[in-house]
Structure 1
Amino acid sequence: MSSYYVPRGGHPGQAELTTDRAVFTTAYAVLPRGTMRDIVTSSLPHWEGTRLWVIARPLSGFAETFSQYVVEVSPGGGSSRPDDDPAAEAVLFVVDGEVTVTLEGHQHRLAPGGYAYLAAGAAWTLRNEGGEPARFHWIRKAYEPVDGIERPASFVTHEGDVAAEEMPGTNGSWTTQRFVDPSDVRHDMHVNIVTFEPGGVIPFPETHVMEHGLYVLEGKAVYLLNRDWVEVEAGDFMWLRAFCPQACYAGGPGRFRYLLYKDVNRHPRLGRALP
């Protein structure tokens, strides 16, 4: 059975230590779960009864291709006009409570583990019709259309309906749940769930063109970020710049899981010489 870390805000007492594991560098950043307090929440236009933690946004020297929020919607809250950017595609992943997403006129009830891909320009709304707060991740990216390539359609699913694919040679200790076929070039981003059983590793420093956002859903591990081994746990967020070396060792005692964003299937944008 899956479990997901859920931030609940609050505020630390005056007697607590100021020192934490927060790190911000030109190659990577770590936002520990303790940074997600009441004082750093944000609001959005046309959303009622809602607050959110913005954990990534396009910024020079930080996330370049995406934004990511952890959203908390009170009973009765939500939005009939959630996103006015017609170029923004999105993924919603529910971690607590239930929300009703109306997508192109069809209602979908999303409980923990519920996943929705919202194509750029899709008509959608979201409401919390239950009696308890609901919390979900919202990842946004500007869709990059390609001439001659059909745009992807929106869809709704649940992580329990998506098979965990074993990474080669790992005997099941490292698996990935892929919500989109990697060979489907209509999609320019993937948002997957990666799981390591105790003792599972990324056995080499991955260095590649994809930018990453990793939110730890469950467990703990030590993660290589550039040249630094960093301890991370459920509720922590990591941003990795393109080509930042990364590796992982999941020592247990339980499994280690994270929600992974990466940009895919497009030419890197090129600078243009002055005329």
Structure 2
Amino acid sequence: MMKRSYATPPGGLPPQSDSPTARTGQARFTEAWAVIPRNTMRDIVTSALPYWDDARAWIIARPLSGFAETFAQYIVELAPGGGSEWPEPDPEAEGVIFMVDGAMTLSLGDDDFVLEPGSIAYLPPGARYTLHNHAGPEARFHWIRKAYEPVDGLPVPDFFISHDDDVDPIEMPETDGRWATTRFVDPEDMRHDMHVNIVTIQPGGVIPFAETHVMEHGLYVLEGRGVYYLNGEWVEVEAGDFMWLRAFCPQACYAVGDRPFRYLLYKDVNRHPKLRLR
């Protein structure tokens, strides 16, 4: 299995000699997009969660007026021995876990699964599972949660576990492999109302037009560097940075540097738009 390196929050606290106008100054929150740089993910902005032991979370997206509407995204850190017997409090929520550092045991029914960097797990609504770090050093993972939207006649998706290295990226047409997407779910499977993919853009590769579409996005840069076009502005991003894009926010990008630009991508899919606001 290929060994990959995935970005994680730095934690800690910058020294007093650091300038707040450095990379931290690139943190942006607008009506159509937001950028939360890696350097802002420090100890003092973590959250504690009920029924989680020896754990903390950077909550980088949550349903909020003028921000994310369809999902919440966490980066969870479990200390050795940490975990939860009741991680998901909402019986209508589905979840995706993507492991980026250390190892963790996911238990579902009578089965135990060890998640290592690159492992991804889909957890359907109502799944009763536990998470524990039995392996030693800190375990870090992304946890994406969404209220599942059922459709009459369609069953709820099944639980599954996969890995970044086990799924062949699909090249986008006419790109010579410079732009590819690792899809963990069949796009034609209408049971799923969200996709969590990995997009890889090779050095010099581009998304050559301003995508403007109905899906909301959460993008966490796992590796490399890129320049992203966001609703009229170009923003430099690198491993460990997070972006949120509102539905219809124009977007394009190009990779810079000498290594692939890879990001974990959330989007809501396969459902009619809601015609009534709550």
TM-score by length of 1: 0.98
Residue 189 in structure 1 maps to residue 194 in structure 2: yes
1:231 counterpart letter in structure 2:
E
SS in 2 for 1:63: coil
Match of 2:184 in 1: 179
User: In terms of mean alpha carbon deviation, does 229-238 or 149-158 score higher?
Assistant: 149-158
SS in 2 for 1:43: coil
Residue 11 in structure 1 maps to residue 16 in structure 2: no
SS in 1 for 2:177: coil
Residue 90 in structure 1 maps to residue 95 in structure 2: yes
Which of 243, 250, 265 aligns to 2:248? It is 243
Q: Which structure 2 residues correspond to residues 145-160 of structure 1 after superposition, within 5 A?
A: 145-160=150-165
Match of 1:217 in 2: 222
User: Quick one: distance in 1 between partners of 2:266 and 2:108?
Assistant: 22
User: In terms of mean alpha carbon deviation, does 216-225 or 2-11 score higher?
Assistant: 2-11
User: Quick one: distance in 1 between partners of 2:79 and 2:260?
Assistant: 30
Residue 64 in structure 1 maps to residue 66 in structure 2: no
**Residues 197, 252 of structure 1: 8 Å contact kept:** no
C-alpha displacement at 1:12, in angstroms?
1.1
**Residues 94, 137 of structure 1: 8 Å contact kept:** yes
Which of 113, 125, 131 aligns to 2:130? It is 125
**Residues 106, 112 of structure 2: 8 Å contact kept:** yes
User: Quick one: distance in 1 between partners of 2:266 and 2:125?
Assistant: 17
Match of 1:109 in 2: 114
Cα deviations by residue, 1:171-220 (Å, 9 ceiling, x for unpaired): 11001000000000000000000001001100000000000000000000
Match of 2:46 in 1: 41
C-alpha displacement at 1:54, in angstroms?
0.3
Residue 270 in structure 1 maps to residue 270 in structure 2: no
Cα deviations by residue, 1:80-101 (Å, 9 ceiling, x for unpaired): 0111100010000000000000
User: Quick one: distance in 2 between partners of 1:160 and 1:271?
Assistant: 41
Cα deviations by residue, 1:222-263 (Å, 9 ceiling, x for unpaired): 000010000000000000000000001112211100000000
**Residues 10, 39 of structure 2: 8 Å contact kept:** no
Cα deviations by residue, 1:44-63 (Å, 9 ceiling, x for unpaired): 00000000100000000000
C-alpha displacement at 1:105, in angstroms?
2.5
User: Quick one: distance in 1 between partners of 2:97 and 2:199?
Assistant: 17
Which of 30, 34, 46 aligns to 1:25? It is 30
2:150 counterpart letter in structure 1:
P
User: Quick one: distance in 1 between partners of 2:37 and 2:84?
Assistant: 29
User: Quick one: distance in 1 between partners of 2:110 and 2:248?
Assistant: 41
C-alpha displacement at 1:7, in angstroms?
1.4
Aligned residues: 273
Gapped runs of 5+ residues in structure 1? none
C-alpha displacement at 1:3, in angstroms?
1.6
User: Quick one: distance in 2 between partners of 1:64 and 1:203?
Assistant: 27
**Residues 183, 196 of structure 2: 8 Å contact kept:** yes
User: Quick one: distance in 1 between partners of 2:242 and 2:97?
Assistant: 16
User: Quick one: distance in 2 between partners of 1:15 and 1:3?
Assistant: 29
**Residues 10, 38 of structure 2: 8 Å contact kept:** no
Gapped runs of 5+ residues in structure 2? none
C-alpha displacement at 1:16, in angstroms?
1.0
Match of 1:230 in 2: 235
